[in-house]
Structure 1
Amino acid sequence: MSRHTRVRGLLAATGIAVAVAMTSAGAQALPATAPPATEAASTAVDAWITMPGVTTPTEAQLPFRSSSAQGPVVVGVEPQVRFQRVTGFGAAITDSSAHVLYWLSQQQRDDVMRKLFDPVAGAGISFLRQPIGASDFVADKAYSYDDMPAGQKDYALRHFSIAHDEAQILPLLRQAKKLNPALKIVASPWSPPGWMKDGDSMIDGKVIDSPAIYRAYAGYLVKFVQAYRKAGIKVDYLTVQNEPQALRRKDYPGTDLPWWQEARIVDQLGPALRAADLDTKILGFDHNWGLHPGDVTSYQAVHEDPMYSYPYDLMSTGAARWMPGTAYHCYYADASAQTALKASFPGKDVMMTECEGAYVETFLSVMQNWGTGAIAWNIALDQNHGPHVGGCGTCNGTITVNSTTKAVTYNDQYRDIAHFAKFVPAGSVRIASTFRDTTYGPDPVRTVAFATPDHRTVVVAWNPGKSAKTFTVVSGDRAFDSTLAPGAVATYHWR
């Protein structure tokens, strides 16, 4: 699917997100605090502007003026109307990503990691998704942390080991955490070990419907969190299955996991995490905003219920007490699904944990629809969209590492992540931003706004149109004017 095509689908939700969120789910009553008396308010707005295909951002200062004079196009920022708190923004250090990053010299790799994770010198990536075992993006073959010979089981998990990750993945994670101590991690399995499934394989199949297997799988995930913590990496969130509605994975790990089985696993996992004194949170679902027609066909082919309301059914079970939120992917439908779920379960969070080709329009839509965080897919791949074993043959990395020249290219996704991660730290709160255009021009500017813990206001704006857009941003009695070229993205921030 082209970027242009998906943009239109995503933005179908964006235009109504604030109104729906305020009327259906209810804005959060979070305190609006003034800056400390020792901190003077900004006299100008800092702007950080990028263009598609342009490597270096443009930085500028825009003067404030009185809001009494407003032009025909106005973005209104309302700090007193507050919504969800932010967890972070980022991508995933898959096995493939780690592999291509280790093609680089230590000096090159250090420079790349700084540009990815350093909040001052780089993009400030603050949220990572880590596969638990293999995904389709592996350099060699599928693996879990407790592989067994065919026909054998390991209920006691005596063979559990994260040795596979010790050479490349864990050193990168430790380096990322050092560069950005606020970094959060959500970890997701593409499959349990094969011996826990009816086909004795990580590829396709179902989890065996057995209390002993559910306990073993919960223990497996707890051991993963413990092992990572011992290795210096805290896992903040877990999901129990990547894309549980994607049946018939024929060449890479995947599991058909109905909602009732996920609930049974979570009912084991929640108490097991607590008993191990781990504060890792469980997220439910971890799949698309809507059920993809291809997945419907897969269900029909095996005479199964398509489970159109999977996240609702899951959150309606007793297992919901162990799940503070739901994870979504971007590959079908649009982010308004997040607002709908939030309206039904207002005490639960929503976030996007995977989106290949995540650009600013994706992040805007996710955040306007109650998302606490947004994560792209591979943080790095080669020029041939790999290495990978099965699965996606057209996926791109946030950066590209050339397998021959070792040249590093920072793609548009890198800069679009930076517009959020660099300026909107964890603990920020989304605030209301409205748009008025009395010219009724096509492709209006899209915005989302935040209040940060250090008392800054941040507005991310994108011009999706084919002509330049001039507009006024108004916040209280102050305003500033800006013009964005076609396709340009700007992050404005002030105290």
Structure 2
Amino acid sequence: MATSASVRWISTTQHEPWRELAAPSLGEVRGMPSVFLQTDDPQQRIEGFGASFNELGWTSLAHLDERDRDAVLRQLFEPGTGLNLTRCRMPVGANDFSTDWYSYDETPGDLALEDFSIEHDHATLVPFIRAAQRHQPELTLWASPWSPPTWMKVNGHYAAAKASPLSPGVDNGIRDDQLGAEGTDMMRLDDDVLAAYAAYFGRFVDAYADLGIPVTMVMPQNEFNSAQIFPSCTWTPEGLAAFVRHLGPAMAARGVDVFLGTLERADDGLVEQVLVDTDAARWITGIGAQWAGKRAVPYLHRHHPDLAIYQTEQECGDGRNDWRLARHAWFLMKHFLLHGATAYMYWNMSLLRGGVSRWGWAQNSLVVVDPDTRTFEFTHEHYMLQHVSHFVAPGARRIPTLSYTGHENQLAFRNPDGSLVIVVQNDLAEEMAMSFFIDGQALEVTLPADSLNTLVVAA
């Protein structure tokens, strides 16, 4: 098969990541293609790909020497090098992968926020983000809290649950009378408290803007139905709507978007119940979904095409970073992007080997750091994400595909420069021949067994 400079082919298997293969030329159609690219029907515009800036990401990278740490960040952020991350997430205060609980104002009753300060972040999140900006100056961020300051909550505690099987032996100090529950508002809904919390968001955005770090979108709560051992806060849709009525104007004054999320339940009705409040809905420009929320996304995209959809946190695994979870990562990317997502977020960028959080949950990451040898490695999920994010530029449009042979394991995109990107998985234990029909020509390949592949067709 003749090679051609007009087509590039990258393939990853469990034992051979990111291997460049001899690319075929586009040729005449010799039979029924496996997949038709519907290039005349472009779909959603892709904003970008990202991950979350978490404190344990930076403290893990601190075990590396400066040269290796810079190499990791270059791979994650530098345009044209590795993942090309451009649109990332950060917490408002502590999250489950912080070093411990904190908020920006823990002074009880401080409605005027006289003691507000992001000083805590200068040890971890600020240097982490600034290090990324050195490689990607166009980096933008969005943010959500895991818990409001404790004095704004009805239980007066940062968490909502005791230890679970995911975190055995972890004691967060919560009392039985402080436990939260799904379907309740753990946030105090007094207007003066909600107004103060909206101002808290504003002070956060302003403080980061003063540091040259743009936060351009916020969501009111991470996983608003989940009562967790770590920082968390449950809300009802009515409670969220009441808060968004305060949050929306505060963010609009700063040119910051408000998305509704993050939705972690397969229940689109939770979103609809907020949107029926027209005074809240007028401020909402998008929806964020993660975990089981993925099953609500097809409906939400179909019935609210005017709202952007973000996949806000890739399911985060068990700390083993194995091939099994990497294959699942591809399924998740495919599902969200096929159903209208405009941005896709991985979760932890970097963790120590084992990936255990302050609250005892082991999770996966793009980079694993060994603190004993002071070395690092990129994980299977890193390469899975790179197969899409390295080649699909911000501003690309997803291209629908059609298969009369039943093959539905691919994504396709048209970049702003006109190039086409096809990402396709062969999930069989043997090679698989495939052909793609592209504007009257055929692209024929034989995919390695159990592989993810990216084919780039130049404009």
How many angstroms apart in 2 are the aligned matches of 1:192 and 1:465?
47
Change over 3 Å in CA distance of 1:53–1:215 after alignment to 2: farther
Pairwise mapping of residues 355-366 of structure 1 onto structure 2 (< 5 A)?
355=314, 356-357=316-317, 359-366=329-336
Structure 2 residue corresponding to 1:320, chosen from 270, 274, 281: 281
Structure 1 residues 47 and 374: alpha-carbon distance in aligned structure 2, compared to 1, 3 A threshold: same
Structure 1 residues 169-216: Cα deviation after superposition (integer angstroms, max 9, x where no partner): 212212222322343322110011111111122212511110001101
Q: Which amino acid aligns with 1:163?
A: E
CA distance in 2, matches of 1:136, 1:271: 29
Shift of 1:166: 1.3
- Which residue in the other structure is 2:358 paired with? 389
> 1:56 and 1:74 mapped to 2: Cα distance?
24
In structure 1, distance between residues paired with 2:141 and 2:85: 11
Task: Summarize the Cα distance change of 1:213–1:187 in structure 2 as closer, same or farther, 3 Å threshold.
Answer: same
Give CA deviations for 1:351-410 in whole Å, capped at 9, x if unaligned: 210111462221111100111111121111111213x2226x231111111121122111
Would you say 1:266 and 2:244 are equivalent positions?
yes
- Structure 2 counterparts to residues 177-216 of structure 1, below 5 A: 177-204=133-160, 205=180, 206-216=186-196
Show CA shifts across 1:251-291 (max 9, x none): 3110011111111111111111223xx22211102022516
- Match of 1:80, as an amino acid? D
Residue 238 of structure 1 pairs with residue 218 of structure 2: yes
Matched residue SS, 1:408: strand
TM-score when scaled to structure 2? 0.87
Residues 1:90 and 2:50 are matched in the alignment: yes
User: Would you say 1:100 and 2:60 are equivalent positions?
Assistant: yes
Look up the equivalent residue of 1:323 and give its one-letter code: I
Tell me how far apart the structure 1 counterparts of residues 265 and 332 of structure 2 sit (CA, whole Å): 12
Matched residue type, 1:363: M
- Distance between the aligned counterparts of 2:255 and 2:303, measured in 1? 26
Runs of 4+ off more than 4 Å: none
| Correspondence 1:224 to 2:187 | no
Q: Aligned equivalents of 1:323 and 1:144: distance in 2?
A: 25
1:329 to 279, 286, 290: 290
* Offset from partner CA, 1:1-28 (integer Å, 9 cap, x none): xxxxxxxxxxxxxxxxxxxxxxxxxxxx
Count of residue correspondences: 419
Instruction: Identify unmatched segments of 5+ residues in structure 1.
Output: 1-41, 292-307
| Partner of residue 260, structure 2 | 284
Q: Distance in 1 between matches of 2:21 and 2:123?
A: 39
On the 8 A contact 1:359/1:412 being kept in 2, the answer is no
Aligned equivalents of 1:162, 1:53: Cα separation in 2? 44
**Quick check: 1:93–1:380 contact (8 Å CA) kept in 2?**
no
Superposed displacement of residue 445, structure 1: 5.6
Counterpart of 1:12 in structure 2 is none
Of 447, 451, 455 in structure 2, the residue corresponding to residue 488 of structure 1 is: 451
Q: Residues 193 and 272 (structure 1 numbering): CA distance in 2 closer, same or farther, change over 3 Å?
A: same
Q: What amino acid does structure 1 have at the position aligned with 2:297? A: Q
What is the CA–CA distance in structure 1 between the aligned matches of 2:199 and 2:16, rounded to whole Å? 47
SS of residue paired to 1:65 = coil
Which residue identity is paired with 1:450?
Answer: F
SS in 2 for 1:359: helix
Give the drift of 1:118.
1.6
2-structure distance, mates of 1:473, 1:85: 22
SS of residue paired to 2:266? coil
Once residues 407 and 191 of structure 1 are traced to their aligned partners in structure 2, the CA distance between those partners, rounded to angstroms, is: 34
SS in 1 for 2:34: strand
Counterpart among 300, 303, 307 of residue 348 in structure 1 = 307
Tell whether the 8 Å contact from 2:11 to 2:18 is kept in structure 1 after alignment: no
Check whether the contact 1:290–1:337 (CA below 8 A) recurs between aligned residues.
yes
The answer for the alignment partner of 2:436 in structure 1 is 473
Q: From the superposition, tell whether residues 239 and 188 of structure 1 become closer, same or farther in structure 2 (CA, over 3 Å).
A: same
Alpha-carbon spacing, 1:54–1:373, altered in 2? closer, same or farther (3 Å): same
Does 1:254 pair with 2:232? Answer: yes
Q: Which runs of 5+ in 2 are unaligned?
A: 161-179, 181-185, 318-327
Of 389, 393, 399 in structure 2, the residue corresponding to residue 425 of structure 1 is 393
Q: Are 1:69 and 2:38 counterparts?
A: no
Structure 2 CA distance for aligned equivalents of residues 282 and 63 of structure 1: 46
The question of 1:169 aligning with 2:125 is answered yes
Matched, 1:45 2:1: no
Query: Are the aligned partners of 1:146 and 1:157 in contact in 2 as well (CA < 8 Å)?
Result: yes
Change (3 A) 1:147 1:422: same
Of 3, 19, 25, the residue aligned with 1:57 is 19
One-letter code aligned to 1:280: V
The 1:255–1:336 alpha-carbon spacing in structure 2 relative to 1, beyond 3 Å, is closer
Q: CA deviation at 1:336?
A: 4.8
**CA shift for structure 1 position 43:** 6.1
Matched residue SS, 1:170: helix
Instruction: Choose the corresponding residue for 1:400, options 361, 368, 371.
Output: 368
Q: For 2:273 and 2:444, how far apart are their aligned partners in 1? A: 47
Q: What is the alpha-carbon distance in structure 1 between the residues aligned to residue 256 and residue 21 of structure 2?
A: 39
Q: Tell me, in whole angstroms, the C-alpha distance in 1 between the residues paired with 2:295 and 2:398.
A: 16
Amino acid at match of 2:424: A
User: Does residue 1:338 correspond to 2:307, yes or no?
Assistant: no
Contact 2:266–2:296 (8 Å) recurs in 1: yes
Q: Tell me if the contact between 1:76 and 1:435 (Cα under 8 Å) persists in the aligned partners.
A: yes
User: Contact 1:218–1:272 at 8 Å: present in 2 too?
Assistant: yes
Do the aligned residues in 1 keep the contact of 2:251 with 2:258 (CA within 8 Å)? no
